[in-house]
Structure 1
Amino acid sequence: MRSLRFALIAATMVASTAFASPADPKNGVDYQTLSAPQPVQAKGKKVEVIEFFAYHCPACNMVEPMLNGWVKKQGDNIVLRRIHLPFQGPNDPEAHLFLTLEAMGKLEEFHPKVFRAIHIERKRLMTDDAIIDWAVKSGLDKAKFMEAWNSFGVTTKLRRLGQQQAAYKVSGTPTIVIDGKYVVSPGQVAEANKIQGVEATMQATAQVMDALVARAAKTK
């Protein structure tokens, strides 16, 4: 998968190289445009940005600092949504965890903790039992967690993830979709511009995203 390929490339790159972002990112080179644009939830002048990710994905973990900084810089220009790709199928435990935290209003607090548990503490949160055990040991009330975990709203959203993946034609993570139609990934940006180095790749990806948000805003 693209996520794995990018992670392996990034892991071998310890030095950054200078990057000059294209003033006008090219469709089919720096990004792709969906043939069937998807409806957006953002209202008014704000541009919708969706991150398709997976907690176990090393590249997603590397993208987090860049994405968080980029979102702060964009401010009121955008609305960010995250969608966890269901790599393990319609009952993907990690996606189930993400939706449960979201339903509980605990996502802002626990989203970085999940990444840390997997990528720093090396915990294998790939099954329902492992995730529930980790959630309780991390301070979440078990009764409230299980209530959200088994709720109609969470289970319905979980079943719909495959449809969302297909609609946006996303096959790997991390993938960013801007304004329901522009699809960007660090792997594509690095490959298209022959970039070496994680830092340079993140910088370049952010610059391409800047340009696409600006382009989308002109049509609002």
Structure 2
Amino acid sequence: MIKFLSALIFSLLIPLSASAAEYSDGNGYTTIKTPVRTSDPNKIEVTEIFWYGCPHCYSLEPLVQAWKKDLPSDVDFKYLPAVFGRGWLAHAKAFYVADLLGMEDKIRADLFNAIHVERRNLNSEDALARFFADYGVNEDDFRKQYDSFAVNSRLSQADAKIRAYGARGVPGIIVNGKYLVSAESANGNENIFKVVDFLIEQERQK
């Protein structure tokens, strides 16, 4: 009987151990060599590095929005636009203009759709000014923000953070300034937030 109970307990522990070891550095995520300071040490920060023009970011967007709906109170979510290529700068500036105007959430889905569904060329200041005008933003006001000190400062800060993260592509999810999760590391977009949730729980336990 004792042998039977020992075997039973061991068999029950195996799935728990396997679950706990499901992800590790190099399997699901990459550990950032030097952790990057987060905005609020009392919260677990999750940051998406993205580009409006990226088809993979567009595909991930519904998953991001679904995950954000049940965001725990101890988790802080942020977006970080990347500038890894030609044409990316205009979109990064558009993000910060929208953010400063308090309308990024309002235009985010429409901007993604305009680029990926309607196939509109929104890679210039002029094109983006016309896009923002559809949301009641005066074109002159848009242009002032587009080249403002506030926008350029945020761009510099974002670039420094992305370099510190060691990210080289999008989309990428940073958990608490310590871990980078990508579709490649997680084996597909559909697994990204499984890994993110795993890392959030790991950070909670610390």
TM-score, length-scaled by structure 1? 0.78
* Structure 1: 5+ residue stretches without partners: 1-19, 191-200
Q: Deviation of residue 124 (structure 1)?
A: 1.3
Q: 1:49 aligns with which of 46, 50, 53?
A: 46
- Alignment partner of 2:168 out of 167, 171, 175: 171
Change (3 A) 1:89 1:42: farther
The reply on whether 1:81 has 2:68 as its aligned counterpart is no
- The corresponding residue for 1:158 is 155
Once structures 1 and 2 are overlaid, which stretch shifts more, 128-137 or 97-106?
128-137
SS, match of residue 25 in structure 2: coil
Deviations 1:107-154 (A, max 9, x none): 110111110110111111112222122222443222332332232111
Q: 1:121-136 counterparts in 2 under 5 A?
A: 121-136=118-133
Further displaced range: 151-160 or 89-98: 89-98
Q: Which amino acid aligns with 2:28?
A: D
One-letter amino acid matched to 2:98:
L
Q: Aligned Cα RMSD in Å?
A: 2.2
**Change in CA separation of 1:91 and 1:64 when aligned onto 2, cut-off 3 Å:** closer
Whether the aligned pair in 1 keeps the contact of 2:36 and 2:161 (CA below 8 Å) is no
Determine which structure has more spread, i.e. the larger CA radius of gyration.
2
- In the superposition, the TM-score normalised over structure 2's length comes to 0.83
Structure 1 residues 137 and 160: CA distance shift in structure 2, 3 A: same
Distance across 1 between alignment mates of 2:204 and 2:123:
39
For residue 33 of structure 2, what is the aligned residue in structure 1?
35
Residue in structure 2 matched with residue 111 of structure 1 by the alignment: 108
Identity %: 28
Q: What corresponds to 1:24 in structure 2? A: 22
User: What is the CA–CA distance in structure 2 between the aligned matches of 1:58 and 1:171, rounded to whole Å?
Assistant: 16
- Aligned residue-pair number: 189
User: Whole-Å Cα distance in 1 between the matches of residues 71 and 130 of structure 2?
Assistant: 37
Pairwise CA distance, 1:23:
5.4
